[in-house]
Chain A
């Protein structure tokens, strides 16, 4: 059985298509990365899948339950860390854990044991009586993960779990995600960090302007333009390189995908001298996942 099946999901806000006929499926036990620039529709998709909002059209199921009609049954088996969500700031870490456990219908004794364990694993045990508003951002995020795990869910939704965290906090969370996956849980993770996704995920779905552009393994994604090379060039001023095939702007720099580096570099030099440009930087490399991402999303990432 697939853990998540989305079929033709669409959702508009005031005429803007936030999610546009999105279809994909997530296999049981995999870490599925949902990657896209700001405003691509990642959070909207997560909200539809967790039953927080309803799609305008299309349907989806989570662990075999319809996300609209069998919302509650699906929610019993999933854990969610919403983007930018908060625990109750005036309640202690412990009270927040107990509240979540009660809402999942977990018996008190079991809940206490589980909460103890989770807070220890996430290294926030010694803060369990502190009010949440006194925690650092990294600690809050670890608490959000602990809350999502209190019901021992089969499937986890993590909406940008590491965004805004420092390197150390982000690493703790990534390690934990891998461990959760080894325990056999399915994980749906959104991110706009290419490296994070390629490190963690079994498969990646790329979304841009509400549409799925590709769903592949990180390695296959790279292979998609794998035969080619990326030539990165920087000029002393902004130019129009639209005459070249397969080019993506990236701020002041341009990335040209090619199979023949020699020809491309010669034509760049030629272009520069014809237009009186100075080349201020030139790089040749195999395309990174980020290049793939930029190529697929049309180079509008601010990542």
Chain B
């Protein structure tokens, strides 16, 4: 089982992740979006870095994982793949693992940028744990987007962007949750990204809006929820792809 998952992960890394554009886009896109928002404002680097980290991890973990299924349906590699003795679960885990590794590796970039700007990490273990759980949760979310049985990459992209962009704006990345009105806090609490950002702020800035245990609990809960949903839905829709 583990060897099969790893075989699929390796395939994904070679086929999708180790491509120049994917790598560059993974780093540059969050950076540009971030700069676009911050340019001209006077905000401290210590405030910027946790947000940049959250956005980078979120975008990279959800960038490729949603398009693997539609792409392979269209490319006609999927039928060959599932004719092998593997379960849907194995395949999904393989897809998540590749995205997970990619997310973690790219998230080092904003952390290093922070260090260069003189922003150190006060709680490295807490941050490391949050990155691992966050990468897993967001990769699973990515797989959840591709459960619609289509072979059109563009449909899945549209759906995932429709969810991803609003989440960026309600998760305490650009505006701290403590500055939000009550309804804003309520909306923010719906986004799993909020909890990751909060832990990142704790680890780098030294304070968080929610108690740390609650952040972790909710991040883990969303990871489990996304994973279970992704597996269940893919199990149902896979046979409808042909």
Contacts and interface: CB of A to CB of B under 8 A. Distances in A.
Interface extent on A, as a size class? 20 to 34
Interface residues of B, number: 23
Nearest to A74: B85
Given A82-B83, A85-B76, A103-B4, A52 B239 contact: yes
Contacts of B14: 90-91, 95
Given A52-B242, A72-B87, A91-B15, A86 B80 contact: yes
Interface string A41-58: 000000100111110000
Given A53-B242, A91-B15, A75 B76 contact: no
Given A54-B239, A95-B14, A82 B84 contact: no
Contacts, number: 70
Given A75-B85, A90-B15, A95-B14, A147 B242 contact: no
B83 A87 contact: no
Interface in B188-241: 239
Interface string B64-84: 000000000001110111111
B144 to A, nearest CB: 23
A104 interface: yes
A87 B77 contact: yes
A102 interface: yes
B80 A80 contact: yes
A17 B15 CA distance: 37
A123 interface: no
Contacts of A103: 4, 7-8, 81, 84-86
A144 interface: yes
A75 B83 contact: yes
A202 to B, nearest CB: 24
Contacts of A91: 11, 14-15
B3 interface: yes
Interface in A19-73: 47, 50-54, 72-73
A227 interface: no
A47 B242 contact: yes
B80 A144 contact: yes
Nearest to A106: B3
A89 B8 CA distance: 15
Contact of A105 (B77, B83, B85): B85
Chain B residues touching A, majority SS: helix
Nearest to B1: A105
B21 to A, nearest CB: 13
Contacts of B79: 47, 52, 82, 85
Nearest to A85: B80
Contacts of B6: 102
Interface string A124-157: 0000000000000000000010010000000000
Contacts of B76: 82, 84-86
A88 interface: yes
B83 A88 contact: no
Contacts of B242: 47, 52-53
Most chain B CB neighbours (cut-off 10 Å) among A51, A53, A99, A100? A99
A102 B4 contact: yes
Interface string B4-27: 101110110011000000000000
B150 to A, nearest CB: 16
A88 B11 contact: yes
A76 interface: yes
A50 B83 contact: yes
Nearest to A90: B15
Contacts of B239: 52-54
6 contacts: A75-B83, A85-B77, A87-B80, A91-B14, A105-B3, A147-B80
Interface of B: 3-4, 6-8, 10-11, 14-15, 75-77, 79-87, 239, 242
| Nearest 4 pairs of A and B residues by beta carbon | A102-B7, A103-B84, A80-B83, A75-B85
Given A47-B242, A52-B83, A75-B84, 12 more contacts: A50-B83, A82-B79, A82-B80, A85-B77, A86-B75, A87-B80, A88-B11, A91-B11, A102-B4, A103-B7, A144-B80, A147-B80
Interface of A: 47, 50-54, 72-73, 75-76, 78, 80, 82, 84-91, 95, 99-100, 102-105, 144, 147
